[in-house]
Structure 1
Amino acid sequence: MSNPIKLFIVDDHQMLIEGIKSLLQDETTIKIVGTATTAELCKQFFIAQSADVVFMDINLPDMSGIDLTKFLIEKYPNLNIIALSTFTQGTYVRKMIENGAKGYLLKNASKFEILKAIETVKSGQKYLTPEAEEALKYEINLQKKLPKITKREKEVLILIVEGLTNNQIAEKLFISIDTVDSHRKNLYSKLNVNNTAMLIGFVNENKFLDS
């Protein structure tokens, strides 16, 4: 008989952790080797111990699960991380996958789906719930359609969204007011808007700065 799959759970809600434990307690193919309610506790576990699969909450109190996923994969490339989230937005799915997650489950997943996800990623494949897969496709298509802006234009855009004037932006970025004005006009042109209000509206509506 092969060794059970070692599962580690990261979630800031103890009740959810207990729920998964209860759900999987009779499964001989899965062994829960540890849990953590913060990113720091998760990091401490992996210093001395290991797991095959990690359930990763995206919303942690001390660090986002997206950043923690990147950190863990860089240090332990063989880890199979599955996002466990209430979020179905494509941005979250894309960022988790980009940072090395092998799967994406919603917190209302059934026992059957949880087991299927664990076994799928352990076998080297990706597992996305239908909702996550749909959201990811939509997000990828959206990213393809969105205009590309330069790094400097993005810096200016962030400050415009924060409400800074051209003078304040120039001061903050150590560039001339004319240069700021030029970047602002380029942004208006690229994003097909006519004023600051429309620019901010476009950013919010398309989650443009989340990419």
Structure 2
Amino acid sequence: MKTTLLLVDDHQLFREGLKLLIEQHQSATVVGEAGSGIEAIRLVEELRPDLVLMDLNMPDMNGIDATRQIIKKYPATKILALSMECDRFFVVEVLKAGAAGYLLKDSAFAELSQAIASVAKGETYLPQKVSNLLVKEFLQCIPEEQTLVYDNLTPREREVLQLISDGKSTKEIAHLLGISHKTVENQRQSIMQKLQLFNVAELTKFAVRHGLSSLTK
């Protein structure tokens, strides 16, 4: 069954062009169009689409506020935000409002199709440019004190930290480094104590910032 879409944008020509592309490629079915956030809320209630393509900059009610209200009333509705702005504020605010993805309007249609498919499956979709922006902001939030502590890690601890951040299990790390499980656990505890970081997510963030993770490559 095709994903049903509601197109929300205050520019009619943009909506018509987008609808034509979507229907030509048979990637989804457009069941309605709205030119404002207020109209979008009404049509979501009336049509119950699987997914809403939501422009952010509209008169009367912007896409962020419309997203917030739609998700509050109809939490099963998936929303993919569309914007010309690769801006942290817009990205963060619409994701906080409940959107499942963010796509730039200058993206190729192939990426739009990919984004629709991902969001329809319950995944989050962010283009590389937006992901890079968020990662940069994310890393800037790391306390500077941790940078000073980095020099206190031994070469072996840095190896273990890199493998942890790459998602390796204790068993895999022990095998790769030729050491015992107990040694890996001791190294892990030492790293956590030195950095004052006590879960894998925080260790991974630290490793990315210091170029120890494959995520930075």
TM-score normalised to structure 1 length: 0.64
Alignment of 1:59-74 (within 5 A): 59-74=57-72
Change (3 A) 1:14 1:142: farther
What is the rounded CA distance, in whole Å, between the counterparts of 1:71 and 1:16 in structure 2? 24
**What RMSD in Å do the two structures reach over aligned CA positions?**
1.5
CA shift, 1:137, in A, is 2.2
Secondary structure of 1:82 counterpart: strand
Residue from 120, 134, 142 that aligns with 1:122: 120
Match of 1:97 in 2: 95
5+ residue gaps, structure 1, are: 146-211
5+ residue gaps, structure 2, are: 144-217
C-alpha contact 2:32 2:47 (8 A) present in aligned 1: no
Match of 1:139 in 2: 137
Secondary structure of 2:25 counterpart: coil
Match of 2:161 in 1: none
Secondary structure of 1:128 counterpart: coil
Secondary structure of 1:25 counterpart: helix
Residue 72 of structure 1 aligns to which amino acid in structure 2?
A: I
CA shift, 1:130, in A, is 0.9
What is the rounded CA distance, in whole Å, between the counterparts of 1:99 and 1:136 in structure 2? 16
What is the rounded CA distance, in whole Å, between the counterparts of 2:141 and 2:76 in structure 1? 29
Question: In the alignment, is residue 17 of structure 1 matched against residue 12 of structure 2?
Answer: no
Secondary structure of 1:126 counterpart: coil
Alignment of 1:1-211 (within 5 A): 3-142=1-140
Secondary structure of 2:42 counterpart: helix
TM-score normalised to structure 2 length: 0.62
Q: How many residues of Structure 1 are paired with residues of Structure 2 in the alignment?
A: 143
What is the rounded CA distance, in whole Å, between the counterparts of 1:44 and 1:29 in structure 2? 25
The CA deviation string for residues 130-165 of structure 1, in whole angstroms up to 9 with x for no partner, is 1111222233345667xxxxxxxxxxxxxxxxxxxx
C-alpha contact 2:27 2:113 (8 A) present in aligned 1: no
What is the rounded CA distance, in whole Å, between the counterparts of 1:37 and 1:144 in structure 2? 41
Larger Rg computed on CA atoms: 2
CA shift, 1:108, in A, is 1.1
